[in-house]
Amino acid sequence: MPRPLQVLLIASALGGLAPSTPADVVYATSGPFGGPFGVIGFDVFAQQSVGVRFVPTQNYRLDRIKVWLMDNSGGSHPLVTLEVRADQTSGGISIPSTIVRESWTFPIAAVGWVPQQETVQSSARPILEAGVRTWIVARSRSSAGMNPVWNWASQGAGFVATTNGSPEAWQPGGVGAVVSVVVEGTPWSPPSPDLNGDGVVGGADLTILLAAWGACPPTGDCVADLVENGQVDGADLAALLAAWS
């Protein structure tokens, strides 16, 4: 598995360490499901990870993720890792891939079976592409009975999968018991490859791109960073050549 970006973040129902800024809802279910026997959810522990899949309707940059978690340990605040993952197909089934686009590890705030909403803020701000399946995965190294629990939502549509052990062996859970999650982002449009604004993508734009080759400056515009990865490189050159006109 590629090494994910690890962010140690102590999150709470008040919104984590970083202040929240207004953003659009990319995907959301409702709060925790409650019935005559109380709230319920998926155990997240060393032998079981849980993932929920969504498909953005337009391009976004990820801002934050909110999940409802509770505690099987009775108050030890076990660690949980949330990951944004790409999708892959195995045997005709959509499952989370091993490509981790961003990751957060934090102790859950809940004590016992009283759900708390945890919020993680994105620093990498990966692009969530319209029509492209994306997964939010929760995993933990906790042992069974001392683990976080990802609450089921009372309402909402989604696709859930669980896995047992390592290597991962994902099993589709369908849409009958979707987890409680909110994904927020800012609408995003790719930068124009017409770098000089003359209505044509050509030699002048190529000259600008080559002159900016390398890491983007810490301040100021980086107009040639067409894929917005913080540097001007072969990926930007490919994007420019693909738009050549």
Strand partners, 46: none
Q: Which residue type sits at 71? A: D
User: Picking from 57-61, 210-214, 226-230, which range would have the lowest pLDDT averaged per residue?
Assistant: 226-230
Give yes or no: residues 157 and 75 share one domain. Answer: yes
The position carrying tokens 């990319």 is: 26
Q: In terms of residue numbers, what domain contains 168?
A: 6-187
CA angle in degrees (0–180, nearest 5) for 101-104-109: 150
Query: For residue 192, is it within any domain?
Result: no
Q: Collect all residues with Cβ–Cβ distance below 8 Å to 214 and sequence separation of at least 6.
A: 231, 232, 233
Indicate which CATH number applies to the domain containing 96.
2.60.120
User: Picking from 5-19, 36-50, 59-73, 186-200, which range would have the lowest pLDDT averaged per residue?
Assistant: 5-19
Query: Across all residues in the chain, what is the average pLDDT?
Result: 87
Give yes or no: residues 155 and 229 share one domain. Answer: no
Query: For residue 120, is it within any domain?
Result: yes
Asked whether residue 126 carries a pLDDT value surpassing 70, the answer given is yes
pLDDT computed for residue 134 by the predictor: 97
Q: Name the DSSP letter for residue 32.
A: B
Q: What's the domain count of the chain?
A: 2
Q: Which ranges of the chain would DSSP assign to H, the alpha helix?
A: 203-211, 234-242
Produce one character per residue of 200-237: b if its CB has 16 or more CB atoms within 10 Å, e if not: ebbeebbeebeebeeebeeeeebbbbbbbeebbbeebb
Give yes or no: residues 209 and 141 share one domain. Answer: no
Percent of the chain with pLDDT over 70: 89
Tokens coding 184: 């927020």
Higher local confidence (pLDDT), 133 or 10: 133
Give yes or no: residues 78 and 146 share one domain. Answer: yes
Residue of 133, 161, 153, 137 lying closest to 57 (CA atoms): 133
CA angle in degrees (0–180, nearest 5) for 62-123-230: 95
User: pTM for this structure?
Assistant: 0.80
Query: For residue 146, is it within any domain?
Result: yes
Tokens coding 168: 């991962």
Give yes or no: residues 148 and 219 share one domain. Answer: no
